[in-house]
Structure 1
Amino acid sequence: MRAAVVFRRHASGALAAPAACRRGFATGSKLQASYGFIGLGRMGYPMAKNLRTKIPESDTMIIHDVNEASTAKFAKEVGNVTIAKNVREVAEKSTTIITVLPEPSHVQSVFGQVLQPPTLLTEAPNHHKRLFIDCSTIDPKTSSEVAEAAHASGQGRFIDAPMSGGVVGAAAGKLTFMIGASDSVLERATEVLMMMGKRVIHLGPQGSGLKGKLANNYLLALNNVATCEAMNMGVKWGLDPHKLADMINTATGKCWPSEVNNPVPGVVEGSPASKGYEGGFGTALMLKDLKLALKAGQEAGIEPQLGSYAKDIYAAVEKDESCKGKDFSVVYRFIGGKE
């Protein structure tokens, strides 16, 4: 359901964690040192857990998810949190609010409720105002519309900060965040994100993080299909998959799907392929990101040549009962790879 609110329409490089967390935004008023977290799914739950663990005990944290069982589990397992009845309550009680949501429509709906009515406290100095950090992977256009609504309301600053690293990285606190933000909120955002990850890359103004994330995942989607096809060719030609993978990973074909997430079972111990293609990055999520990248490309007048073919492959994989719901390396099984 779409939100009631009407949305209108420099520096880059990796940022290390500050030597000492100044937390200047977390002292002074009753709302400072207060964190809100909306979305406790597969990624959000471990991210929120790391955040609560690393902020001072005296800081407050307010959580919300449409799945009440998830918030109840979090409160029992992690503790020292307040469960909000709705997203508006999260916004009213927090000055730093992190959202991790599945689709563009969810982000629109949540911020429609967060920003209306436009009466969130705004008396604090500018650098103390609310900071909305959206870690959802959505299209840049929707993100920019939500950002404009937040900024026009005068109730806070909005940045996009999609992440890479998967569920394993989220649990280990080793995510990489790609952020689109103005320089004025960069240090504050970095301090927060480094409590949930290991690296923050500032790609430019609002919207830049998502553009970088979608470009990366577009390439990942294609690399995965190509790796599955190359490994299938080699195995069918009689090559040993371990030796083939070793050769590729010391030659020009080396990529993340060949080295870390190799699609042939047994080649990489502990990989999804070696566990029945369970865990990892689901095919449905890859298909979603690929569609978002293609849509954003078309809106910018770009016509990607290979993406549409890959999209059809991932869509077909999701319809195959032996592959549906598996890690995206299951493309190898789908094309008849020897397991």
Structure 2
Amino acid sequence: MRASSIPASSLRQSLRSAVAGPTSRRTFATQSRLQASYGFIGLGRMGYPMAKNLRTKIPSSDTMFIHDVNPTICEKFASEHKGVTVVEDVRAIAENVETILTVLPEPHHVQNVFQQMLRPPTLLTDAPIKQERLFIDCSTIDVRSSAEVAEATHSTGQGKFIDAPMSGGVVGASNGTLTFMMGAPPELVDRANAILSLMGKRVVHLGAQTSGLKGKLANNYLLALTNIATCEAMNMGVTWGLDAKALADMINTATGKCWPSEVNNPVPGVVPTAPASNGYEGGFGTELMLKDLKLAMQAAAEQGIIPELGIHAKDIYQAVENDAELKGRDFSVVYRYFGGKNTDKLKGLNGQ
């Protein structure tokens, strides 16, 4: 089921008003609760491998419910893994499981999904479970929207909500090596850590709810800038006649070393596993980098912070997204925007 978009400010009000309104009970939740139960909503490029790692690492007796707006993806996942139930709407997940993970693209997606899960506010009577529901949102959204969804969850008494965005990209999601930045009260840390550790190698508790998002946005703001700086520096060196790999090797043993220079180098052929060496396919799309950069700048502005470098960086990423030949590629394609000419222009971008 696709959710219609709703204003963020109306989420809590609509949920509270539902308490006094008519309710409907579902008969979907009838199974035994002797084993643990999990729900996963959002099987995109990150969510799919995360859900795969979760299903693989939890006991076979545990149950797992999944949902995505693309039913074909759900059926594919279910065909590859035992102990998976595909549901057509997210309310069925909320009714049947104790731990619900969401990995969604935009704030309105998160808000719409939670409105559907929490209405009517009768989860505690619709499907008794062994322990209090825990909603873990791994989406990267704005701080204000996350706080509002958390308040809606807690105020209706139907569970606890924490934010746990991740870093590590599609490769990290596939390999189970993600880093999760968690915003949660102390009493939920151990429980959440045990779950998130099944999908990543490190979980960092940064403080109360929204702290995980704040940490993620600060990290990705820095990543957005260091990527641009790396692309410019590599373009300078190659244009000056330096060998790209030799230049990168030097940088990575000197003070300029950073993740974009060492792991995600923007010059094709320097790092064989980097998206640049695969036509800039895969990896972290420029559109997503631009989204995170804007979210970080928005959160900064709300605190009276002027992100000086981010203003220009945003223009660069937007220009890349407006370029038909560069749009949709890994964000290291900024190197091509600057005119990287270590190979024929755009060679390899389209498999040529």
Common fold: TM-score over 0.5: yes
Residue 250 (structure 2) pairs with residue 244 (structure 1): no
In the other structure, the counterpart of 2:346 is none
Residue 163 (structure 2) pairs with residue 169 (structure 1): no
Distance 1:310 1:127, change over 3 A: farther
Residue 268 (structure 2) pairs with residue 265 (structure 1): yes
Find 2:143's aligned residue among 140, 144, 167. 140
Residue 64 (structure 2) pairs with residue 61 (structure 1): yes
Per-residue displacement from partner, 1:36-87 (whole Å, max 9, x unpaired)? 1111111111111111111111111111111111111111111211111200
Residue type of the partner of 2:46?
Answer: M
In the other structure, the counterpart of 1:290 is 293
In the other structure, the counterpart of 2:42 is 39
CA contact (8 A) 1:32 1:95 kept: no
Residue type of the partner of 1:330?
Answer: V
Q: Partners in 2 of 1:147 and 1:32 — Cα distance? A: 26
Q: Partners in 2 of 1:202 and 1:144 — Cα distance? A: 17
Residue 216 (structure 2) pairs with residue 213 (structure 1): yes
Query: 1:233 Cα shift?
Result: 0.9
In the other structure, the counterpart of 1:106 is 109
Distance 1:89 1:124, change over 3 A: closer
Residue 157 (structure 2) pairs with residue 179 (structure 1): no
In the other structure, the counterpart of 1:308 is 311
Three-state SS of the structure 1 residue aligned to 2:146 is helix
Find 1:2's aligned residue among 3, 6, 26. 6
Query: 1:30 Cα shift?
Result: 1.9
CA contact (8 A) 1:223 1:255 kept: yes
Q: Partners in 2 of 1:189 and 1:277 — Cα distance? A: 34
CA contact (8 A) 1:176 1:201 kept: yes
Question: Normalization by structure 2: what TM-score?
Answer: 0.87
Query: 1:31 Cα shift?
Result: 7.4
Per-residue displacement from partner, 1:150-184 (whole Å, max 9, x unpaired)? 00010000000001111111111111111000011
Q: What value does the CA root-mean-square deviation take over the aligned residues?
A: 1.9
Q: Partners in 2 of 1:151 and 1:216 — Cα distance? A: 28
Query: 1:122 Cα shift?
Result: 6.6
| Between 254-263 and 121-130, the greater mean CA deviation after superposition | 121-130
Q: Partners in 2 of 1:128 and 1:179 — Cα distance? A: 21
CA contact (8 A) 2:163 2:182 kept: yes
CA contact (8 A) 2:95 2:127 kept: no
Residue type of the partner of 2:11?
Answer: V
- The correspondence of residues 7-156 of structure 1 with structure 2, limited to 5 A, is 7=12, 30=33, 33-121=36-124, 128-156=131-159
| Between 125-134 and 114-123, the greater mean CA deviation after superposition | 125-134
In the other structure, the counterpart of 1:256 is 259
Query: 1:256 Cα shift?
Result: 0.6
Query: 1:126 Cα shift?
Result: 11
Q: Partners in 2 of 1:122 and 1:181 — Cα distance? A: 26
Three-state SS of the structure 1 residue aligned to 2:140 is coil
Three-state SS of the structure 2 residue aligned to 1:234 is helix
Question: Normalization by structure 1: what TM-score?
Answer: 0.90
Three-state SS of the structure 2 residue aligned to 1:6 is helix
Which structure's relative contact order is higher, taking Cα pairs within 8 Å and 6+ residues apart?
1
Q: Partners in 2 of 1:127 and 1:82 — Cα distance? A: 20
Query: 1:148 Cα shift?
Result: 0.5
In the other structure, the counterpart of 1:16 is none
Query: 1:123 Cα shift?
Result: 11
In the other structure, the counterpart of 1:159 is 162
Three-state SS of the structure 2 residue aligned to 1:306 is helix
The percent identity for this pair of structures is 71
| Equivalences, count | 319
Q: Partners in 2 of 1:7 and 1:235 — Cα distance? A: 54
Stretches of structure 1 that go unaligned for 5 or more consecutive residues are 9-28
Q: Partners in 2 of 1:131 and 1:71 — Cα distance? A: 22
Q: Partners in 1 of 2:74 and 2:328 — Cα distance? A: 25
In the other structure, the counterpart of 2:282 is 279
